[in-house]
Structure 1
């Protein structure tokens, strides 16, 4: 075991896979010589050469389009979109080509592509560097969508993503890059700050895609969260004293319904938390699944705690995020019902 930040764990995953499989290539904007804007690819070009880790033009559609061609040829590209906010020019390539390649070729071709991108706020990046666009991918058949919450999962999930024969959208919460935090928003997390390190297994291992993790056992209410919001949920449960069970989804698509259903049927109450907007956010899908499968076990209406339905508010960033106080109020509301 080694102690790592999430940045170091992500880098270690790419290092392990590049060493294990010569078909794995890493490229994107500034990922080569500079090592990425958040330093996730630092040292990979020096170790594996410019043919395996290289810079790309500022052209997200071209980056993903080139990766699709490489994948069809037999390579396993792991590409970085510098911020999740920048992915929209590549959306057509992801949806119309990568996600459909296996189906439209009747299995003759696959698209083993991993598309990494930093997501969410917390670095004072404003509305063009802070969005959480997971829901625009979870409704696309053929994609898998991953959101890790800690260094060990980040490494294991990224290894699984690179090994997968279908395209994986791998979203990296920026506020967790340098380690877990206490769930509050008092201090921004910057690429240069150091926080608590996580225990990460050395060498090769994987975390299966599509399997959630119960991070806190409880009997009164189920909190469904992912990424940064796992820590917010833990802080809210601790501060309210409510015996909450917390599920870290880890993978949004495919979704681990079995773990969710078992937990909600046990507790009879459910709160869904995510950083993205309320309207058409992924929480709406989670709420529907719980309502459809657990209706007769529910003791209270399901609550959602999310970001606002506004363009990302730079000046009000910390108020925009769901925090322990807002999640705590939702927990108290379902317990009063």
Structure 2
């Protein structure tokens, strides 16, 4: 086991997979250091430092700086995947998904279906996402609610450095297109990561981050840490909570959610997205339709409001879910007797 930052776990995993499989290629805006940068001190590996050193190790044929065109990046990734490569493409900010929506929704997500299963599209599209840096409304959004809705895409939201490693390795080796969402606020997080070059985490298997009998808290990505903090605070008052880290939203581990709610009888869903047509509402509906008899109280949802992400630090803090809001939601659902 080694202690790594989240961003280093991402970079190391890509490096190891490129060493293992010559079909793996990396492309995106500034993944080397800027269009035309030939390595050297300017090769920063993108603004998030998640591809540093790859260019020097694997050269321009496998680490490709692209123009500022999300359509070109995702379209090229799809073409490379159909041609037998295993591309790992980066969209610098998930907010720009709208520019490449046709390539994602109408092309990459549908290739296997429309070709009758005769073709695979093993493309990984990495997207840094989320608020917390006061980057304003166009650079602070989460987009898992959109891509989870698209049949044909697998959607991954790792919450720890170890999960970032295991899930990314699984994504690169998967034969289907994977949207790999990395919350920007987690890049500096440190944690233990397996040294095993074969360490993979299968999709569709949630992680039980905390265990308790009084309430179930479901979260993904950065919200998992907030849920854990809330559960720890509640535990000091004798309230035990299951905290379920979804890891992937498509496929979704329905069994883990339903099994927990059947024991606790209470559900709190935490989601950084606005509430309308969100992951929170989807999970609330799932439990209402499949575990209604187990519920002892109405489901509580802790989400962002239905508004763009504010720029001002104080407003952004008020906009986001927080451990305090999760604690209040758990106490609210426990108030029903």
TM class by shorter chain equals over 0.9
TM-superposed CA distance for 1:314, in Å, is 1.1
> 2:210 touches 2:231 (CA, 8 Å); kept in 1?
no
Moved over 3 A (4+): none
3-state DSSP of counterpart to 2:298: coil
1:66-116 C-alpha deviation (Å, 9 max, x unpaired): 111111100000000001011211111101000000011112211100000
Equivalent residue pairs, number: 320
The aligned counterpart of 1:220 is 214
The aligned counterpart of 2:260 is 263
Q: Are residue 245 (structure 1) and residue 255 (structure 2) matched?
A: no
TM-superposed CA distance for 1:236, in Å, is 1.5
The aligned counterpart of 1:187 is none
TM-superposed CA distance for 1:34, in Å, is 2.9
TM-superposed CA distance for 1:235, in Å, is 1.5
3-state DSSP of counterpart to 2:117: coil
TM-superposed CA distance for 1:210, in Å, is 1.0
Structure-2 separation of matches of 1:23 and 1:251: 25
> Which residue of 149, 154, 163 maps to 1:153?
163
Q: Are residue 51 (structure 1) and residue 96 (structure 2) matched?
A: no
Structure-2 separation of matches of 1:251 and 1:266: 23
The aligned counterpart of 1:186 is none
> Which residue of 215, 227, 230 maps to 1:233?
227
The aligned counterpart of 1:119 is 129
Q: Are residue 42 (structure 1) and residue 52 (structure 2) matched?
A: yes
Structure-1 separation of matches of 2:97 and 2:242: 34
The aligned counterpart of 1:285 is 282
Structure-1 separation of matches of 2:328 and 2:133: 26
The aligned counterpart of 1:97 is 107
TM-superposed CA distance for 1:239, in Å, is 2.1
> 1:16 touches 1:204 (CA, 8 Å); kept in 2?
no
Gaps of 5+ in 2: 33-42
TM-superposed CA distance for 1:293, in Å, is 1.1
The aligned counterpart of 2:39 is none
TM-superposed CA distance for 1:62, in Å, is 0.8
The aligned counterpart of 2:37 is none
Q: Are residue 5 (structure 1) and residue 5 (structure 2) matched?
A: yes
TM-superposed CA distance for 1:303, in Å, is 0.5
Following superposition of structure 1 onto structure 2, how do residues 292-331 of structure 1 map, counting pairs within 5 Å? 292-315=289-312, 316-331=315-330
The aligned counterpart of 2:333 is 334
TM-superposed CA distance for 1:204, in Å, is 3.0
Structure-2 separation of matches of 1:136 and 1:178: 26
Q: Are residue 168 (structure 1) and residue 178 (structure 2) matched?
A: yes
Over aligned residue pairs, what C-alpha RMSD do you find? 0.9
